[in-house]
Structure 1
Amino acid sequence: FNEYSEAKNQELRTLLEYAKNLRADAIVLCPVNGIDANENRSSWLERTRYALSQYGPLFEEYGLYGYVEPLGFTASSLRSKAEAIEAIEGSGYERWYRLVHDTFHHHLANEKQYFASMTGLVHLSSVAAGSLHREPTDADRILFLEDDLLATREQAQALVNSGYRGTFSFEPFSPAVQNLDIESLEMEIQKSINQLFR
C-alpha cells in the first residue's frame, strides 16, 4: 500500500466496494516487503504517510477502516507499530486507521510497546522455540504452541489487559498447517483456542 500510485488508489476503491458489499469493517494494508538494508527508512516513512493521506478520503467515503499491518522483517519498508502510528498521525485521517497487531511481526521487530487503543485486529501464530539461527519466515508460523518463540499468549494477554476487545485471528502460514485435512484442522484450531484462552 505504501508505494502509492493512482492505480493503487483505484484498486483500493474496488476493494472497498467489495468490502462494503460483504459488510466487512476494514481492509488490511500491507507495506512493501523486500527493500534493501541500506535504503533510507525515513523516506519510506514519508511515503507511508503520503499514501495514507491519499487513501484517507476513500476510507472516509466508504465508512470503512484501513488496518495498517507493519511487517517486522528486516526487509520491510514499515517494520514497527510505532512507525505506523507516526505515519497515521501525519496523514490527517487518524479517524479511519487502526493497527494490526501480529504476534509474529511484533516479535521480529523486537517491539515492546502495545497500542491496544489503536489496534483493530490481532493476528496470532506461533513459532516453535529452539535454536533458529536465522530470522523466522512465514513458513515457520503454526497454530498455538505452549513452547512458543513469540510469546503469543503473553502478547494476547497484554493487549486484553490494556483494553483490547476486538477480534483475534489465527494466521498460520506453515504448509504443515495449510495441508491438514478439514477435520484435523478443526481439531488443531480448537486445541489452540483452548490452550491460548484458558
Structure 2
Amino acid sequence: MVSLDFAINHMAAPQLRLAELFALAAKLGAPRVEIRNDISGNAMLDGTPAQTVRELADEHDVTIISINALQQFNVWSDARAEEAKTLAAYCSGSGAKALVLVAENSGNVPDSSATRIANATQALTALSPIMRHYGIIGLVECLGFKTCSLRSKREALVAIDAANGRDVFRLTHDTFHHHLAGEPELFPELTGLVHISGVDERDLAVADMRDSHRLLVGSKDRLDNLGQIVALRRGGYCGPLSFEPFAEELRHLADPAAALQQSMQFITEGLRARAA
C-alpha cells in the first residue's frame, strides 16, 4: 500500500481565502498547508494576526507546515535580518513549523562556488539563532534557474554545515527546480519538504521553463515527479509532498478540489504501479 502525506501550498489555489484553503485541505484528507506572504488579500499581507491564523488552523484541524517565504535569504543585510525575525515570529505565533528560505534569483550569480557558499554561510549563520529562538526549521530552497545565485543543493548543504546548522536547517526539494538544475544528488535524508508540480508542454526547452508553466502533476508530466518521489522515499524521506503549481490557469478553476484530487490519485496510483 502506498501511503503519501500530501500537503497544499496556497499557490495551488490562490483564489481562495485562508479559511477556504484550510477547508479544502481538510476536505481532501491532506490536512497540511503552506501559507504564503505574497498573496494579496490574504494573511499575511492583509495584516491578519498570527494568533488568528493559528485559531483558524485549529478550527479546521490542519497543520501549517511552513510559511513561504523569506526571499533572497543569501543576500544578507540588516533589513533581511529584521524581515527574518518578523517572519519567524509570525511562524511561531501562527503555529507554523518552518520558514522557507529562497535563494536570490535576480541574475547576480557569483562565478565562484566558494563565493556562493560563503554568501549562504553568512546568512545561515545569522539565521540559525533566530530559528532556534522561535523553535522553527529553516527550509533552504535552491532554484533551478540559471539566474539563481544558489542552484546547487550540494553547495547549500556545505553552507549549512559551515554554519553548524543541521539542527535548524533542512533542504527543500522542489521537483521543478531539481529538474532544471540538473543536479543528480537528492539528499533525501536532509530534506525537510518536497514541492511538487508538473510541466506538460512538449515543445518547451528545459532552459525556457518558468513558474508560469508549472501545473498539477499528471500523465503528461515531463519532470519525472514519480521518479523523483520514488527516489526520495527510497532514500528515507517520508515527509509532506506539497503541491506548488504557479500556472495562471489554476487561479481560475471552478473546482480546485477536483483538480487536486485527480493529481493526488495519479501520483498514488503511479507509485503503486511502480512498487508492484
TM-score bracket relative to the smaller structure: over 0.9
Instruction: Please say if residues 188 and 236 of structure 2, whose CA atoms lie closer than 8 Å, have aligned partners that are also in contact.
Output: yes
2:124 to 40, 45, 52: 52
Q: Which residue of 2 aligns with 1:177?
A: 250
AA at the equivalent of 1:97: F
1:190 aligns with 2:255: no
Q: Which residue of 1 aligns with 2:238?
A: 165
Report the aligned-residue RMSD: 1.4
Instruction: Give unmatched runs, 5+ long, in structure 2.
Output: 1-72, 270-276
Cα gap change, 1:37/1:98 in structure 2, threshold over 3 Å: closer, same or farther?
Answer: closer
Q: CA deviation at 1:171?
A: 0.6
AA at the equivalent of 1:197: T
1:85 to 153, 157, 167: 157
CA distance in 2, matches of 1:159, 1:34: 29
1:141 to 192, 210, 214: 214
Q: CA deviation at 1:48?
A: 0.8
Instruction: Please say if residues 109 and 149 of structure 2, whose CA atoms lie closer than 8 Å, have aligned partners that are also in contact.
Output: no
Q: CA deviation at 1:56?
A: 0.7
1:121 to 186, 193, 198: 193
AA at the equivalent of 2:232: L
Q: CA deviation at 1:44?
A: 2.5
Instruction: Please say if residues 53 and 93 of structure 1, whose CA atoms lie closer than 8 Å, have aligned partners that are also in contact.
Output: yes
Q: How many residues align?
A: 196
Aligned partner of residue 197 in structure 1, secondary structure? helix
1:104 aligns with 2:176: yes
CA distance in 1, matches of 2:142, 2:210: 15
Q: Which residue of 1 aligns with 2:43?
A: none
TM-score where L is the length of structure 2: 0.68
- Give deviations 1:68-89, integer Å, cap 9, x for gaps: 0000100000102111111111
Give 1:9-28 correspondences, 5 Å limit. Answer: 9-28=81-100
Instruction: Please say if residues 110 and 149 of structure 2, whose CA atoms lie closer than 8 Å, have aligned partners that are also in contact.
Output: no
Cα gap change, 1:73/1:15 in structure 2, threshold over 3 Å: closer, same or farther?
Answer: same
CA distance in 2, matches of 1:93, 1:45: 14
AA at the equivalent of 1:67: L
Cα gap change, 1:189/1:127 in structure 2, threshold over 3 Å: closer, same or farther?
Answer: same
